[in-house]
Amino acid sequence: MLVPLGLAGGRWPRLSPALRRLAGYLLVAEAAGLTAGVTALYRPRWQLAIGQGFTLIETLFFCRIYYLTPRLPLWPRLIVWLAPLFTLFALFATFYLEDIQQVNACTHVGQSGLLIALAPLCFEQLLRELQIIRLEHDPLFLVSAAVVLYFSGTILLYGFINYFLTAHDYAGNRVICTIHSIVSLIQYSFFALAFWYAGRLPQAPSPS
């Protein structure tokens, strides 16, 4: 996570408002991770509450990132409705569908479904823009690709994580942690590329 944060800081003047919100999200994610780690040592039950709150904040951050994307004119009206609806769903899942003292699997699944659905809409819009010469150099494309790869890779993990925790399946927990670490590394790598290409003029592909 330090690599994309370092690139964001170094290229801050060239970052769009959406990418600046992404950098803010990474700071909040780092702070939440450190807080959850320290809390687990002294108040283990609070660690899950922090995770549940961060899931909602994370979703709202990505909604804000897409909201601030000027190339997607219809998205503000869509996200104005989706963000409050997801907030209500997250609160309902936390206090009624699930116990606040366990991993909020339902909220994670809803979060993954929402963000994975938004990303292809972004891909379609980018493909309609003729001025985008190389999509792999477009920051919004890289961010959306990171969203799809990460949340599609973790949606099943969170669907079964409470089972592994309650069953004390240490082998299963290690598998979950390993897969989560891999997809997180991929996500942060794409974020780093998005910051690196921010503000750069797209280059035409070299002839083969």
CB neighbour list of residue 11: distance below 8 Å, 6 or more residues apart: 195, 196, 198, 199
Q: Of all residues in the chain, what percent carry a pLDDT higher than 90?
A: 26
pTM equals: 0.85
**Measured between alpha carbons, how far is 55 from 111 in angstroms, rounded to an integer?**
8
pLDDT band per the 50, 70, 90 thresholds, residue 192: very high
Task: Tell me if 206 is assigned to some domain.
Answer: no
Q: Which residue has the tokens 């909602």?
A: 56
Is 172's pLDDT higher than 60? yes
Is 201's pLDDT higher than 70? no
Task: Tell me if 208 is assigned to some domain.
Answer: no
Q: Of all residues in the chain, what percent carry a pLDDT higher than 70?
A: 81
Task: Tell me if 160 is assigned to some domain.
Answer: yes
Is 195's pLDDT higher than 80? yes
Q: Are 98 and 104 in contact (CB under 8 A)?
A: yes
Task: Tell me if 168 is assigned to some domain.
Answer: yes
Its domain, for residue 28, covers 2-197
pLDDT at residue 188, as a whole number: 94
**Measured between alpha carbons, how far is 59 from 34 in angstroms, rounded to an integer?**
19
- The predicted-structure confidence for 57-104, as pLDDT tens digits, reads as follows 999 999 988 888 766 666 677 888 889 999 999 888 888 877 666 777
pLDDT band per the 50, 70, 90 thresholds, residue 141: confident
Task: Tell me if 52 is assigned to some domain.
Answer: yes
Provide the 8-state DSSP code for 102.
Answer: S
Domain count, the chain: 1
Q: Of 154, 34, 175, 145, which is closest to residue 104 (Cα–Cα)?
A: 154
pLDDT at residue 101, as a whole number: 65
pLDDT band per the 50, 70, 90 thresholds, residue 24: very high
**Measured between alpha carbons, how far is 200 from 71 in angstroms, rounded to an integer?**
17
Residue scoring higher pLDDT (200 or 180): 180
pLDDT at residue 207, as a whole number: 46
Q: HSE on the CB side for 18, CA within 13 Å?
A: 22
Task: Tell me if 204 is assigned to some domain.
Answer: no
pLDDT band per the 50, 70, 90 thresholds, residue 38: confident
Task: Tell me if 207 is assigned to some domain.
Answer: no
**Measured between alpha carbons, how far is 101 from 45 in angstroms, rounded to an integer?**
6
- Both tokens assigned to 11: 């290229």
Length of the chain: 208
pLDDT at residue 179, as a whole number: 83
Task: Tell me if 76 is assigned to some domain.
Answer: yes
Which burial class, exposed, middle or buried, applies to 118 when counting CB atoms under 10 A from its CB (0-12, 13-18, 19+)? Answer: buried
Is 187's pLDDT higher than 90? yes
Instruction: Supply φ then ψ for residue 88, to 5 degrees.
Output: -65, -40
CB neighbour list of residue 72: distance below 8 Å, 6 or more residues apart: 66, 121, 122, 125
- Name the average pLDDT for the chain: 82
155-183 mean pLDDT: 73
155-177 mean pLDDT: 70
Q: Of 22, 18, 42, which is closest to residue 30 (Cα–Cα)?
A: 22
